[in-house]
């Protein structure tokens, strides 16, 4: 039968005094702010620890929590990711000789260039303590994410990033390409096998089907298909006619400026359909798409090659008015987000707030962008039905 004790009081007890004397160092738990109370409650339920939640209490409680951890009066401190990124709080936490750092939602630290990654890396290097990361997705998008998390747990275990990218990440990416050579596919399988064996020393994996099969209820999914209303259909067609959306639709189409004239001339000279199909499959990479030639940006049809004034989303991504290396795909997700809103409800295309009612700052700039897109995406007669370009409370 599980033994349960009452939570240890805030003041130093005989047990925590013994902890300080024996030299055992406290544990830092870095968790999302929304689950900090849950962690504290579970620690009180399943263990007998002196725990502090860093950030709770009256003014000065944070300094006392760090001091108690330094003196060995508490065994665990729960802190949110946001507080760890603040300069003053980070300096205070860094001064504590932590014995272990446990990080919940570890995948949020995958970006080596973000502040959270730098804070956690500096903290663990300063204390010289081990790190335990808890996550359900150790590699979300690419192998750079996996390398960054492993490097936090065990530095240089997979080598530096340049070596890992050259020997592991790039070959695996090439082996999974649609037109990958059989030799590249075989090499990729070999590299993946060696990487999996290497990760066993730093990664413990639990599957739901092995541990939680009896306690998890079966999923009951119901899918309801809802047709767009006539108003939404009209808006949808109008939004697709905007410059950014037209740019995305024709991004991979052959450019019509004449650069592909020789290719299509040779294609049309062939006699049979079989010859044309074989020629196209072998030489289709010679076709220059619009996104790599004349249609990298939503240029206006008017003389002077100016950006179309209706291209609000593109202008927001490119304040200098020049296309980037990822154009036009850099605006894909903003465009999809607008279509998703439209399919949910037509009023979601309206600006949430009137920019004139806001003080100068980031919120006002965001409201101005929303209002500009609403004016471009919603015709006047539709705006009258919705009550204007700004949503009314």
- Is pLDDT of 11 > 50? no
Mean pLDDT of 212-238: 85
Calculate the alpha carbon distances from 322 to 246, 255, 327, 333 in Å. Answer: 18, 20, 10, 19
As a whole number, mean pLDDT of residues 4-15 equals 44
- 3-state SS class at 104: strand
- Cβ–Cβ under 8 Å, residues 85 and 119: yes
* C-alpha–C-alpha distance, residues 26 and 68, integer Å: 10
Residue 136 pLDDT greater than 60, yes or no = yes
pLDDT above 70: percentage of residues in the chain: 92
In contact, 78 and 41? CB cutoff 8 Å: no
Q: Please check the confidence at residue 182 and state whether its pLDDT lies above 50.
A: yes
Residue-wise pLDDT tens digits, 369-389: 899 999 999 999 998 888 889
- The yes-or-no verdict on residue 246 having pLDDT over 80 is yes
pLDDT at 3: 43
pLDDT value, residue 23: 58
Q: What is the pLDDT of residue 296?
A: 84
Query: Selecting from 3.40.50.10810, 3.90.1150.10, 3.40.50.970, 3.30.230.10, what CATH number does the domain 14-210 have?
Result: 3.40.50.10810
Give the strand pairing for 51-53 and 27-31: unpaired
What is the per-residue pLDDT for 393?
Answer: 60
Integer Cα distance of 111 and 130 in angstroms: 20
Nearest Cα neighbor of 136 from 111, 112, 109, 104 is 104
Give the domain ranges of the chain.
Answer: 14-210, 231-253+306-386
| Structure confidence at residue 103 as a pLDDT band (50, 70, 90) | very high
The model's pLDDT over 60-101, given as tens digits with 9 standing for 90+, comes to 888 888 888 888 888 999 999 888 888 888 998 999 999 999
Residue 197: per-residue pLDDT = 92
Tens digit of pLDDT for each residue in 315-356? 888 888 888 888 888 999 999 999 999 999 999 999 888 888
Average pLDDT over residues 13-39: 71
Sign, Cα dihedral of 329, 334, 336, 338: negative
Mean pLDDT for the stretch of residues 166-182: 87
pLDDT at 238: 94
Tens of pLDDT, residues 271-289:
899 899 889 888 888 999 9
pLDDT of residue 6: 46
- Return d(Cα 382, Cα 138) in angstroms, integer: 46
β partners of residue 77:
28, 52
Task: Give kind and range of the element (H or E) at residue 100.
Answer: strand 100-104
Which residue's structure tokens are 């024709």? 250
DSSP notation for 186-233: HHHHHHHHHHHHHHTTT-----HHHHSTTTSPPP-------PPPHHHH
Say which residues have a Cβ less than 8 Å from residue 250's Cβ, sequence separation at least 6.
290, 295
Q: How confident is the model at residue 10 (pLDDT cuts 50, 70, 90)?
A: very low
Give the model's pLDDT for residue 321: 84
Query: Residue 165 burial by CB count (10 A; 0-12/13-18/19+): exposed, middle or buried?
Result: middle
Average pLDDT over residues 224-253: 91
Torsion angle (degrees, nearest 10) of CA 267, 271, 275, 280: 10
**pLDDT range class, residue 20, cuts 50, 70, 90:** very low
Q: What does the alpha-carbon distance between residue 311 and residue 330 come to, in Å, rounded to a whole number? A: 13
User: Among 252, 150, 277, 247, which residue's Cα sits nearest to residue 203?
Assistant: 150
């Amino acid at each position: 039968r599980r033994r349960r004790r009452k939570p240890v009081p805030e003041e130093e007890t005989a047990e925590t005094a013994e902890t300080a004397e024996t030299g055992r160092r406290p544990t830092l738990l870095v968790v999302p702010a929304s689950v900090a109370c849950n962690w504290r409650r579970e620690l009180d339920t399943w263990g007998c620890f002196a725990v502090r939640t860093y950030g709770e209490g009256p003014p000065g409680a944070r300094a006392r929590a760090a001091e108690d951890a330094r003196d060995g009066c508490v065994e665990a401190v729960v802190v949110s990711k946001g507080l760890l990124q603040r300069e003053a709080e980070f300096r205070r936490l860094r001064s504590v000789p932590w014995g272990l750092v446990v990080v919940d939602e570890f995948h949020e630290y995958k970006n080596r260039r973000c502040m959270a990654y730098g804070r956690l890396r500096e903290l663990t290097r300063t204390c010289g303590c081990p790190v335990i990361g808890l996550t359900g997705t150790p590699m979300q998008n690419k192998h750079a994410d996996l390398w960054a998390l492993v490097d936090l747990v065990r530095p240089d275990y997979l080598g530096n990033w340049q070596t890992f990218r050259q020997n592991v990440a790039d070959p695996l990416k090439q082996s999974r390409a649609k037109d990958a050579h059989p030799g590249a596919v075989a090499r990729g399988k070999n590299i993946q096998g060696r990487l999996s064996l290497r990760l066993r020393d730093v990664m413990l994996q639990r599957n739901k089907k092995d541990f939680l099969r009896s306690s998890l209820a079966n999923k009951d999914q119901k899918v309801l298909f809802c047709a767009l209303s006539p108003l939404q259909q009209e808006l949808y067609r109008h939004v697709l006619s905007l410059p950014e959306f037209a740019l995305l639709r024709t991004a991979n189409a052959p450019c019509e400026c004449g650069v592909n004239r020789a290719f299509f001339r040779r294609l049309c000279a062939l006699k049979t359909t079989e010859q044309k199909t074989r020629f196209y499959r072998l030489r289709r990479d010679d076709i220059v798409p619009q996104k790599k030639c004349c249609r990298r940006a939503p240029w206006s049809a008017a003389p002077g090659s100016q950006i179309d004034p209706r291209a609000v989303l593109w202008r927001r991504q490119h304040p200098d008015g020049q296309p980037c290396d990822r154009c036009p795909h850099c605006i894909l997700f903003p465009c999809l987000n607008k279509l998703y809103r439209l399919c949910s409800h037509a009023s979601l295309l309206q600006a949430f707030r009137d920019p004139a009612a806001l003080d100068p700052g980031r919120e006002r700039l965001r409201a101005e962008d929303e209002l500009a897109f609403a004016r471009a995406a919603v015709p006047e007669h539709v705006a009258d039905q919705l009550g204007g370009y700004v949503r009314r409370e």
